[in-house]
Amino acid sequence: MLASNPKQLGTKDGNPRKWWILGNVSVGTFMATLDGSIANVGLPTISESLHVPLHLVQWVVTAYLLTICAMLPLVGNLADRFGRSRLYNIGFLIFAAGSACCGLSGTIAMLIGSRILQAIGAALLMANSQALVVTTFPVHQRGRAFGITGTMVSLGSLSGPAIGGVLIGYFGWPSIFWVNVPIGVLGFVLGLFLLPKRTTESAVSGRFDYAGSALFVVGIVALLYTVSNGDVWGWSSAYSLLGLAMAILLLFGFGIRERLAKNPIIDFSLYKNRIFTSASFAAMLSFISLFCTNTMMPFYLEDVLHVSPQVTGTTMMAYPLAMAVIAPFAGWVSDRIGPYVLTTGGLALNAVGFILLSLLSTHVAVWLVALHLAIFGVGQGMFQSPNNSSLMGTAPRAKTGLVGGLNALVRNIGMVLGIALSVSLFSARLHALTGVSAQASLANVPSHPFIAALHTVFWAAAGVCIAGALISSLRGGKPNLQRAN
């Protein structure tokens, strides 16, 4: 184990421009995560404008998330080879270019292709943001820094529907993409002056693992694509079974390849560290559970309580606002007492939140729903920044890009799996109660079976949170104030 060395960080308090660097990293993190959710609210409008069915326009969101999941470990590996600042800054330009192409798109094919380009830029930003925090801040300030970046992740992920609804209502659907262009260009220009010129302690040598990269990309895309469509195809259908079998074979082959490769894309020896393993799986379970809320609550608010999309967006902002208050404070506390109590307690609080959601009925005040959602903001604020600091603290300095990419990967996989879990459970329960199929409109579904199906999702999400809390507790109770060699 190696404690932070002041000579490595510029001064005993880290890089003298560290807070400016954190501001730049926060902008990139917010922008990249925002576009994972902002397009959801625009899908009906895009579908009507481009004259395409909703099942096809859904690829505007799916292609973005799948590309990010496929790219993150590759980007993290490349960053450790060529420099994190360089690839992070290039990410701003690619993201801005992809956003401009999205805004100019006149066909669904061009829009989906532009979203893929945008996602490549987002992967460059996501994979390197946490590594830049580690190499910029001394150990005793990382929790606070991760509290701020963790807030940006949740603000970006969960404020997307509200921001997107306002922009589309006033300026049309292309505006949700054009708004990124000036931000991306500004982030790139500031990064040229702010970001450290050298962010790797030692360059990773050797030939890049192209075969392993191909196996991972195809395997993870096949897995997440099948999971995303399992509810529509039917989990026992030939398409689902074939897709899962192909994904398992490819990822199994990837695992074998990485154990034999001299320069693996994913260093599986990292998972021998108990803190790294428990933090990674706890993070994934956290996002699985929380995206059950992100997916299902808009339907509850609009189809059961019959509130407007604007009120829905405002109500759901209670989550990120509560987290914005709690996360920096939790990071500051974790710098002093360690991550154990905060991470485990945060996930346990989220489990309580889901149990409380299961008590919601067909007639409830909107402010009470917002109060329930604020509980998740507090719980996630307690969990996210201490967990990130704990996980990144296990990274050898030359592999912080890889570890940052893996951390972002499990977060995005959790989002995809959370959506799939919530939709599948809800549809199965609703079909058992009413005979309504998964493809039917929910607008005409009676409120009581709708609520019963929704409660099934919430109880399952509570179970996921409890499992996450148990896994988080395995990291041990000592403060994580050192970093591996």
Residues 44-61: tens digit of each pLDDT: 678 778 887 655 776 787
Tell me the C-alpha distance between 18 and 38, whole Å.
Answer: 29
pLDDT at 91: 87
349: confidence class by pLDDT, cuts 50, 70, 90 = very high
Per the CB < 8 A criterion, the answer to whether 325 and 319 are in contact is no
Mean pLDDT of 370-380: 88
What is the separation, in whole angstroms, between the first and last Cα of the chain? Answer: 6
282-309 in b/e form (b: 16+ CB < 10 A) is: bbbbbbbbbbbbbbbbbbbbbbbbebeb
pLDDT at 351: 93
Per the CB < 8 A criterion, the answer to whether 131 and 11 are in contact is no
Percent of the residues in the chain that have a pLDDT greater than 90, as a whole number:
10
C-alpha angle with apex 254: 249 to 257, nearest 5 degrees? 125
Tell me the C-alpha distance between 380 and 250, whole Å.
Answer: 34
pLDDT at 348: 93
SS3 238: helix
* Predicted confidence (pLDDT) at residue 103 exceeds the cutoff of 80: yes
What DSSP element (H or E) covers 396?
Answer: none
Q: Please tell me which residue, 423 or 355, carries the higher pLDDT value.
A: 355
15: confidence class by pLDDT, cuts 50, 70, 90 = low
pLDDT at 197: 65
Q: Can you point out the beta strands (E) in 2-45?
A: none
* Predicted confidence (pLDDT) at residue 17 exceeds the cutoff of 90: no
pLDDT at 245: 92
pLDDT at 54: 56
C-alpha angle with apex 160: 159 to 164, nearest 5 degrees? 120
pLDDT at 41: 66
pLDDT at 475: 77
pLDDT at 481: 43
In one-letter notation, the amino acid at residue 287 is: F
Q: How many CB atoms lie within 10 A of CB 272?
A: 9
Tell me the C-alpha distance between 304 and 364, whole Å.
Answer: 10
pLDDT at 113: 92
Highest mean pLDDT among 44-48, 206-210, 364-368, 478-482 belongs to 364-368
Mean pLDDT of 411-433: 80
Tell me the C-alpha distance between 107 and 429, whole Å.
Answer: 37
pLDDT at 202: 45
Ranking 110-119, 175-184, 329-338 by mean pLDDT, the lowest is 329-338
* Predicted confidence (pLDDT) at residue 479 exceeds the cutoff of 70: no
Residue 423: closest CA among 267, 258, 283, 288? 288
Tell me the C-alpha distance between 341 and 62, whole Å.
Answer: 35
- For residue 107, give every residue at least 6 positions away whose Cβ sits within 8 Å of its Cβ, in sequence order, or none: 50
The mean pLDDT value of the chain amounts to 77
